[in-house]
Every structure is written in C-alpha cells, then in structure tokens.
Structure 1
Amino acid sequence: MEDENEYKKLPTDEKCVHKLWKARVAGYEEAIKLFNQIDDEKSPEWNKYFGLIKKFVTDSNAVAQEKGLEAALVFVENCGHAGKTTGEVMSGIVAKCIAAPRTKTKDLALQVTLMYIEIEKHEIVEEELIKGMEQKNPKVVAACVSALHTSLKQFGNKVIAIKPMVKKIPILLSDRDKGVRDEMKALVVEMHR
C-alpha cells in the first residue's frame, strides 16, 4: 500500500507520465489547476509540458485519457505557444480520440480541435483531419469528416480551406460505410452553403 501512494510526492509533470493510470489522472488534474493559475501566457512554466501534451491525449487508459484531454484543452486555451504542439497533438487526437467509444472523449477531442483552429492553426488541423480520412477504420474517417464539417460550420470557408477537401468527395461518397457517406454528404452540403 505504501508504494501505491508514492506518486503523490512527485512533481506534476512526472505524475503525468507515471506508469500507474491513477497517478496520471492525478497529474492531469494538477496540470489543469496549474494551467489555469499561470498568468503569463508566455511563462517558462509552459515549456515543461510541450513534450507531454501528446501523451495527455493518447493515454492508454480511457479515464486518464479524458482527464488528459481536459488538461490539453486548458493548455491550448491558456498557453501563448500552444500552436507549436498542434501537429503532434492533432495526429494523436485523430489516431486515438476522435472516434473513441466514450462520448465525452469524442466531445473533448472536438473541443481541442476547434480550440487549435481558434488560435489560428487551422492549416495544420485541417491537414491532420484530411490525413485521418485515409485511415482504414470507417469510424475514424467519419469522425474526421464530422470534425471538418463542424469546423467549417463554425469558422467558415475563409478559415477552413475547401479546396483540399474537394479531392476527397468522390472517394468518400462512394465509401462502403454508410456512416462515412452520410458524414461526407453533410460536409458537401456545408461546403456548398
């Protein structure tokens, strides 16, 4: 029992990469508090977490992953240099979160995606979502199309470029999976609008 609670003495950034999922959850919760307390968006305190943010969203434990996504969202909202993490975090979100079985995980993944677009990293976000459309898992493909649809609806075609998506229309409208076809139809309607 003594070793199980050893992790409580560790600093926050070490808890976030601990092998025990409970320790990681505690680390993410502390990180959320810490990210909300740092006043300066360019503070050197943020630097400790640049390499860890991708691990937050790709956690192997579902409960810890949800907390990690919450921490990542607060990080992107408050850190002045969060844009540097866009590529790696978005690839992790596409791979592990966007089509997760848990609804809250999917919602948080979409919120993080939209927050990256809000901090003007829309090209990288769109690129990662389009890469996600080439995956074999139809749930991931449908979720990527849905995320693009939502971002196009919220930010418009001045922010979200339509041209890269046009190439995917014939491929995804003729996909075997009904979910992928339906999501693509909704996206095409939004593109036309």
Structure 2
Amino acid sequence: MGDDSEWIKLPTDQKCEHKVWKARLSGYEEALKLFQRIKDEKSPEWGKYLGLIKKFVTDSNVVAQLKGLEAALVFIENAHVAGKTAGEVVSGVVTKVFNQPKARAKELGTDICLMYMEIEKAEVVQDELLKGLDNKNPKIVSTVCHLKRHHCI
C-alpha cells in the first residue's frame, strides 16, 4: 500500500494539489470543514488557499470537483480575500463546470458566480460570463444564457 496512501499524512493544502484524485478529494473535504470552522473573515488561514481555489473548481475528477465546488463556495462566502480570486475562479467555472452533465455542479457553479456578485465582484463575473458566450460548447453558452435571463449579466 506504500505510495498509494502516503498522501494521508500531508497537510490539507498539499492534499488539494496532489496528483491522486482521492488525495484531492480528501483535501477538499478537509478544507470545507476548515472553512466552515473559521469564524474570523480576516483569519490568515484563508490566505493559504488563495492560489488553490481555482483548482477546487477545475479538478479533472468529477467527484473531487463537486467537493471542491462546495469548499470554494464556503471560501467565497466567508473569506475577506475571496474577491481576489473572482476572475480566475469564474473563468474556471465557465469552462470546466458549466459544461458538466451533473446538475449539482452547474448549480454550485451558478451559486459561486452569484456569491462573487454579492461580494461586489459583479463586473469581473460579467466579463467572464460574457467570454463564455464565445465558447464553442453549447452547454456553456446555454448556462451563461440562463444566468443572463436571471439578470445576472
């Protein structure tokens, strides 16, 4: 079992970047619990995840990605630094989430976009969603148009 489970001992942020999808899933689950426990929106703990949040939403494994989306949403809802991630995360949502067949992924992606708007990053969200209209994938364009109908853009 050696190499396969070595990741278990890693810190949460390192699990989130691991090459093994089960390690990333575990990391996202731990991050979600951590994000729910942090009561101070200005805690330095948030900063550790600034560069990782895009990876949460763009994970190549669908199961891990769903947990990553949940964790990303809680991060955006609670971290004072979340606004810094708006462009890259929404771009990731548009290209890697809105084309998913899973309704739950699209729902979480939409919630993430709406949460960024709530924390006053509407212009960034709008720009990324409008870029999505140029996409060749009809699922992405359809989801972006759905958001447009709900006056998000």
Q: TM-score range by the shorter chain?
A: over 0.9
Larger-gyration structure (1/2): 1
The CA deviation string for residues 121-151 of structure 1, in whole angstroms up to 9 with x for no partner, is 111101110110011111111111112223x
Q: Which residue of 2 aligns with 1:104?
A: 104
The unaligned stretches of length 5 or more in structure 2 are none
- Identity of matched residues, %: 59
The CA deviation string for residues 37-58 of structure 1, in whole angstroms up to 9 with x for no partner, is 1121011111110100001100
Specify the code of the residue in structure 2 equivalent to 1:145: C
Q: Which residue of 2 aligns with 1:81?
A: 81
Larger relative contact order (CA 8 Å, sep ≥ 6): 2
The CA deviation string for residues 150-193 of structure 1, in whole angstroms up to 9 with x for no partner, is 3x1xxxxxxx56xxxxxxxxxxxxxxxxxxxxxxxxxxxxxxxx
Q: Which residue of 1 aligns with 2:68?
A: 68
Aligned 1:49-64 pairs, distance under 5 A: 49-64=49-64
Query: In structure 2, how many angstroms separate the alpha carbons of the residues matched to 1:73 and 1:148?
Result: 20
1:3 positional shift: 2.1
Query: In structure 1, how many angstroms separate the alpha carbons of the residues matched to 2:11 and 2:149?
Result: 40
* Segment drifting more, 83-92 vs 94-103: 94-103
Query: In structure 1, how many angstroms separate the alpha carbons of the residues matched to 2:91 and 2:133?
Result: 12
The CA deviation string for residues 61-101 of structure 1, in whole angstroms up to 9 with x for no partner, is 01011011001001001101101100000000001001211
Cα RMSD of the aligned pairs, angstroms, is 1.1
Q: Which residue of 1 aligns with 2:90?
A: 90
Specify the code of the residue in structure 1 equivalent to 2:15: K
Specify the code of the residue in structure 2 equivalent to 1:97: V
Query: In structure 1, how many angstroms separate the alpha carbons of the residues matched to 2:29 and 2:114?
Result: 22
Tell me if the contact between 1:126 and 1:148 (Cα under 8 Å) persists in the aligned partners: no
Number of residue pairs matched by the alignment: 153
Tell me if the contact between 1:133 and 1:141 (Cα under 8 Å) persists in the aligned partners: yes
Tell me if the contact between 2:47 and 2:81 (Cα under 8 Å) persists in the aligned partners: no
Specify the code of the residue in structure 1 equivalent to 2:129: L
Tell me if the contact between 1:87 and 1:128 (Cα under 8 Å) persists in the aligned partners: yes
Tell me if the contact between 1:53 and 1:72 (Cα under 8 Å) persists in the aligned partners: yes
Specify the code of the residue in structure 1 equivalent to 2:102: R
1:59 positional shift: 0.3
Query: In structure 1, how many angstroms separate the alpha carbons of the residues matched to 2:10 and 2:139?
Result: 38
Query: In structure 1, how many angstroms separate the alpha carbons of the residues matched to 2:131 and 2:70?
Result: 24
Aligned 1:41-190 pairs, distance under 5 A: 41-150=41-150, 152=151
